[in-house]
Amino acid sequence: MDIRQPLSSIDKSRVKKQFNSAAGTYENFDFLQQEVSNRLFDRLQDILVSPRLILDLGSGTGRAGELLEKSFKKSEVINLDIAEDMLIRARDKKKYSIFRRQRFLCGDIEAIPLKPNIADLVYSNLAIQWCPNLRLAFSAVKDVLKPGTIFIFSTLGPDTLRELREVFSTYSDMPHVNTFLDMHDVGDILSSSGFSDPVIESEEITVNYDSAAGLLRDLKGIGASNADPERRKSLTGPTRMRKILKEYEKYRSNDKIPATYEVILGHAWAVKHEKNNEHTLRRLK
């Protein structure tokens, strides 16, 4: 059955530019990425795997690669990212050695520049939401995995930053906040891309700020600004921005400004023979 491919509204060239620019500040603001990474690692520990070659997609500054290397001491880790400056930052943190088990590769998740059937584990934390065509991304992952090995990932769902989206919609019809795919679409595409026994979970994480300005600063600091092709190209003026920040105050609770993230976590196995199109969806409270 041909499943319609929902496309994300993402300008990939914009994504690359943003993350290159944020490479120097990223680790000062990536607390959400680290929290989700910890949850993803908790799930990975419950799965009995002994990978020799691990591919970290959207590796950023290499934090997950270090954890993967420590968790799987006989493995080699390939860090892949579309932003070269992120990889340079990650590489420069590691002491050079011909025995080093970390490798760094600049590339696109939708067209992974590796030969087929090479990886034993593909890991990706909060990266595939930046892929405009998720079917291409999942097909590329399936191609590089050996049959019977695992893909584990996290991404963002459509309720992410819903407060900020609602505030901006008061002042403009243009998209000011990125829109991401629903977990049902993610599960359907995963099942139809050569993976078996997918498990998809969705949960909400709320980050509290002293002010809405702090949220915008953090988004810029990690390179996660608006990458919608239909976004407003000019900067928001100071008068309108003050109104937007004031409007956000209606969400203040317990003297904090909330920012909601819908986090989707999933894993599935590269099919050995016939694939199973059934998948499990679970929304956590």
pLDDT digits over 28-61, tens only? 999 999 999 999 999 998 898 999 999 999 999 9
Do 86 and 65 touch, CB atoms closer than 8 A?
no
**Pairing between strand 145-156 and 119-125?**
parallel
Map out the domains of the chain with their CATH numbers.
12-159+179-205+262-275 (3.40.50.150)
Residue 281 in this model has a pLDDT that exceeds 90: no
Q: Which of 19-28, 117-126, 178-187, 205-214 has the lowest mean pLDDT?
A: 178-187
Q: Quickly tell me which residue has 């990125």 as its tokens.
A: 178
More confident of the two residues 275 and 67: 67
- Residue environment code for 139-150, b if the CB has 16+ CB neighbours within 10 A, otherwise e: bbbbbbbbeebb
What is the distance between the alpha carbons of residues 155 and 110, in angstroms, rounded to a whole number?
Answer: 15
Residue 190 — left, alpha, or beta (φ > 0 → left; ψ -120 to 50 → alpha)? alpha
The number of helix segments (H) and strand segments (E) in the chain equals: 9, 8
Selection from 249, 162, 174 nearest residue 209 by Cα = 249
* Residue 207 pLDDT: 96
> Is it the case that residue 193 has pLDDT exceeding 50?
yes
Q: What's the number of CA atoms in the CB half-sphere (13 Å) around residue 258?
A: 15
Lowest mean per-residue pLDDT among 110-119, 173-182, 276-285: 276-285
Tell me the average pLDDT across 9-16: 85
Supply angle C-alpha 2, 137, 281, rounded to 5: 65
Cα–Cα distance between 29 and 217 in angstroms, integer? 9
Spell out a b/e string for 268-281, using b for 16 or more CB atoms within 10 Å of the CB, else e: bbbbeeebeeebeb
Q: How far apart, in whole angstroms, are the C-alpha atoms of residue 20 and residue 28?
A: 15
Residue 205: beta bridge partners?
261
152: exposed, middle or buried (C-beta count within 10 Å: 0-12, 13-18, 19+)?
buried
User: What is the rounded radius of gyration, in angstroms, for the C-alpha atoms of the chain?
Assistant: 19
For the stretch 246-270, pLDDT in tens is: 999 999 999 999 999 999 999 999 9
Q: How confident is the model at residue 168 (pLDDT cuts 50, 70, 90)?
A: confident
For residues 33 and 97, the answer to whether their CB atoms sit within 8 Å is no
Evaluate if residue 165 carries a pLDDT over 80. Answer: yes
pLDDT digits (tens, 9 = 90+) for 78-121: 999 999 999 999 999 876 555 578 999 999 999 999 999 999 99
Distances 12 to 57, 128, 142 between C-alpha atoms, Å: 15, 11, 21
62, HSE (Cβ side, Cα atoms, 13 Å): 24
Question: Which tens digit of pLDDT belongs to each residue from 109-135?
Answer: 999 999 999 999 999 999 999 999 999
How do strand 257-270 and strand 195-209 relate by DSSP bridges? antiparallel
Report CA-CA distances (Å) from 259 to 16, 90, 105, 159, 251: 24, 28, 33, 10, 9
How many percent of the chain have pLDDT more than 70? 84
